[in-house]
Chains A and B, each alone.
Chain A
Amino acid sequence: MSKILEQLATAIIEGDIDNTPKLVQKALDEGLEPLSILNDGMVMGMNEVGRRFKAGEMFVPEVLMSAEAMQAGLKILRPLLVSSGAKLLGKVIMATVQGDLHDIGKNLVGMMCEGAGFEVIDLGFDVPAERIVQAVKEHKPDIVGLSALLTTTMRQMAYTIKALEEAGLRDKVKVMVGGAPVDAEFAKKIGADGYGSNAAAGAELAKKLVGAA
């Protein structure tokens, strides 16, 4: 691995938000391929972050800093990658379903997905099924992530999936669900493609759903 890619991986691990874009620029100036900068530098760093988090050596606020550093670097890389036609990890739409104002779990999954290299479009909380359908039409995401904290609102996940079916969009996107009352069995029952038991598992699942893990 070249020195600059190693430095970039370290910057991601350390959550160095200021330095990461500078290193990305430096790598581009040195003539490295954008895809190599992403995969051999930044993603390597993020993989190490994932390993350390799982092993209990890194903590959520630190992982989020790494994710932020990742985003700061991707801001420069993304247009270049798109114009070069490289395959990106994908786009995720995140929403807390209608009737539910609980935001933090969904935010955590979104941030973890960003850290993994996804582009995340956050629709916020209390989002009606129609708005999600609308957003899928507009953004053409790979994945829709639905969150609910309440047993009273988790039904709304099923309605949302139904709305996607009725709009003829269900086979165009993968749907992942999560939240305290949700489990794998419920996910299966309502016809979702997967369930994540926490934010890190959610990001892992997203990678799996796009065939990247």
Chain B
Amino acid sequence: MRTNYRVNSGTRFHVFSKDQLEQLFWDTLHILEYTGLDVHHEEAREILKKAGAWVDGIRVRLPSYMVRKALSMAPRSFTLWARDGDPKKNIHIGPGRAYFGPGPTCPNFIDPYTLERRPYVKGDAELVAKVVDALPNIDFCESLGSISDVHVDLSALYEFAYMFPNTSKPIVAWSFRWDDSEAIHKIAITEAGGQEAFERRPNYVHYCEPVSPLVSTFEALDKLIFAARHRVPLVFTPCPIAGATAPCTLAGLIAQAAAESWMGLTLAQTIAPGLPFFMGGVTSILDMQTMIFSYGAPELALAECGLTELAHYAGIPLWNTGGCTDSKTLDEQAAIEGSFSVMAAALCGGDLTHDVGYTESAMTGSLFQLCMMDEAIGWSRRVTRGIEVNEETLAVEVIKSVGPNGHYLRHPHTRKFFKTEFWYPTLCDRHNYEEWSAAGSLPMRERVIAKVREILETHTPPPIKKETRDVIEKVLADAEARVKSTDTKKK
């Protein structure tokens, strides 16, 4: 009989030791307590002051107990729900789990038919949502672009309105300000069956972005306050640039990103204790030769892993980054950079990993990159699932029964495990040369393009309720009327 057997079946890796994490944690609190952040939102400053913050003008410093209290209130484990209730599409945030999805707001898009790089337009949000809905390893939806052919104030709302009917996977939504946040929320709660039903089963996450170094902007906090008051799970994610808007050294980059996130966390938990909150950071470097904020650098993947460990040490989930590239096209560079950062994100268990499908350093969204990364995520997930060791998987008796020069192909043990123990690719080709050339000698790139087009032509996402369709029409009409009257006043 086995006793005291320690089961350790997952594949894990660590960037930091326990001492390093302790040091990072307390030094982040030190930054918040002694340097503080500029908080450009009067109401936010008042709320924080009432909760114990030291406020001098717009500078807000948080005594460490406040942040630790906020961390203790935020959940480490919760569920983001598929709008149609499909359990396979729910996202269960918690230790040892990693989920993936695209990112928002690229100005350009690779047209899936002409293969041209062009401005992102209305219909693209539908295409992206559809492909997200169909790909098995893409778990949540963002748009991969910012709609250029609507009123500039309405692109976030149109984006959500076009994505929501085309995927039932949870959406991470951004907005400009309170009123489009409100319109987006109306759509989501209508489908959920009202505000209370939504609070129990939230079907979208609200995304806001403070500015580095150490600035909480009015817009970011206003949207945060909206989300907190309506109990919408929050992503609060700075984008510190190592060497430019953050220290050049990765430890400092991570600490600053955490400090910027935890200001938002403290405000959100003060308003809405227990609100699901993802701390963030797209933590990468300024390339000192090209002045590009790199989406393909190893430092991005490494710093994200470090930040993930700090987040988990502090007891909250992380908004991670991966599957993205600096390459301008679907090529070997895109595959290398995207796959390595996906693998790193999967290994560290960064909870929601976004920007899958970004190319050209976040300037251009690509369904092809997204689709190729779906395969890389599947590959990585097989690795992180690890090797299960028990009597059945060790198969000593099976080895004995097959014996020297026998074979396992017909053994019941093979039949039992070959589907779950092996991962089966859908894009990587394993046919022999004859079969591959008979099928047209297609390189990866061609196979990816064909798969994206097939999804676009054949996939039907689960429908939304009729009342939600009506609400979408209404909020869009109201929003158009609103911007029209503001524009007239401006004149």
Q: Judging by beta carbons under 8 Å apart, are B409 and A197 in contact?
A: no
Q: Does A104 contact B (CB under 8 A)?
A: yes
A108 and B409 in contact (CB under 8 A), knowing A61-B415, A198-B432?
A: yes
What are 18 A-B contacts defined by CB distance under 8 Å?
A59-B418, A60-B409, A60-B418, A61-B414, A62-B415, A68-B410, A101-B405, A103-B407, A104-B407, A107-B407, A107-B409, A111-B409, A111-B410, A197-B432, A197-B433, A197-B434, A197-B435, A198-B432
Q: Which residues of A pack against B, CB within 8 Å?
A: 59-62, 64-65, 68, 101, 103-104, 107-108, 111, 125, 197-198, 201
* In the complex, per-residue mask of B416-448: 1 if CB is within 8 Å of any chain A CB, else 0: 001100000000000011110000000000000
- Give residues in B with beta carbon < 8 Å to A: 405, 407, 409-410, 414-415, 418-419, 432-435
Rounded to whole angstroms, the CA-CA distance of A101 and B405 in the bound complex is 8
CB contacts (< 8 Å) of B409 on chain A: these are 60-61, 64, 104, 107-108, 111
Main secondary structure of the interface of A (DSSP, over half): helix
Q: A197-B434, A197-B435 are in contact. Are A61 and B405 (CB under 8 A)?
A: no
A180 to B418, CA, bound (A): 23
Task: Give, as a whole number of angstroms, the nearest-CB distance from A105 to chain B.
Answer: 10
Q: How many A-B residue pairs have CB under 8 A?
A: 33
> Nearest chain-A residue to B410 (Cβ)?
A64
A10: min CB distance to chain B, Å: 18
> Smallest distance from the beta carbon of A96 to chain B beta carbons, Å?
11
- Measured CB to CB, the closest approach of chain A to B425, in angstroms, equals 10
The 7 A-B pairs of least Cβ separation, nearest first, read: A197-B434, A61-B415, A197-B432, A61-B414, A61-B418, A104-B407, A64-B410
Interface centre among B409, B418, B419 (most CB of A within 10 A): B409
Interface centre among B410, B418, B435 (most CB of A within 10 A): B410
Pairwise interchain contact B407-A61, C-beta atoms closer than 8 A: no
Cα–Cα, bound, A198→B438 (Å): 14
- Cα A107 to Cα B432 in complex, Å, equals 19
B432 partner residues in chain A, CB cutoff 8 A: 197-198
- Among A68, A101, A103, A197, residue most surrounded by chain B Cβ atoms (within 10 Å): A197
Interfacial chain B residues near A68, Cβ < 8 Å? 410
B404 to chain A, nearest CB (A): 10
- Bound: A198/B415 CA distance, A: 20
Roughly how many angstroms separate A11 CA and B410 CA in the complex, as a whole number?
17
Chain A: CB-nearest residue to B438? A197
Residues in chain A near residue B410, CB distance under 8 A: 61, 64-65, 68, 111
Give the CA-CA distance A125 to B404 in the complex, in Å.
Answer: 13
CB of A114, distance to nearest CB on chain B (Å):
11
B373 to chain A, nearest CB (A): 21
**Complex: how many Å from CA A68 to CA B433?**
29
Distance (whole angstroms) from the CB of B424 to the closest CB of chain A: 8
Known A-B contacts A197-B434, A197-B435, A198-B432; A65 and B415 likewise in contact (beta carbons under 8 Å): yes
Q: Which residues of chain B are near A104, meaning CB under 8 Å?
A: 407, 409
Cα-based distance from A61 to B407 in the complex (angstroms): 12
Q: How far is the CB of A144 from chain B (nearest CB, A)?
A: 21
A sample of 5 more A-B contacts (CB under 8 A), given A61-B410, A108-B409, A125-B405, is: A61-B418, A64-B409, A64-B410, A103-B405, A111-B410
Provide the bound-state CA to CA distance between A108 and B409, in Å.
Answer: 8
Closest chain A residue, CB of each to CB of B435: A197
Q: Give Cα distance in the complex from A60 to B432, angstroms.
A: 15
Q: Which residue of A lies closest to B422 (CB)?
A: A59
Interface centre among A61, A62, A111, A198 (most CB of B within 10 A): A61
B residues less than 8 Å from A65 (CB atoms): 410, 415
Query: Taking the nearest CB of chain A, how far is it from the CB of B279, in angstroms?
Result: 42
Chain B residue nearest in CB terms to A124:
B405
A198 to B407, CA, bound (A): 17
A59 & B434 in contact (Cβ 8 Å cutoff)? no
For B405, list chain A residues within 8 Å (CB): 101, 103, 125
Q: A65 CA to B435 CA in the complex, in Å?
A: 24
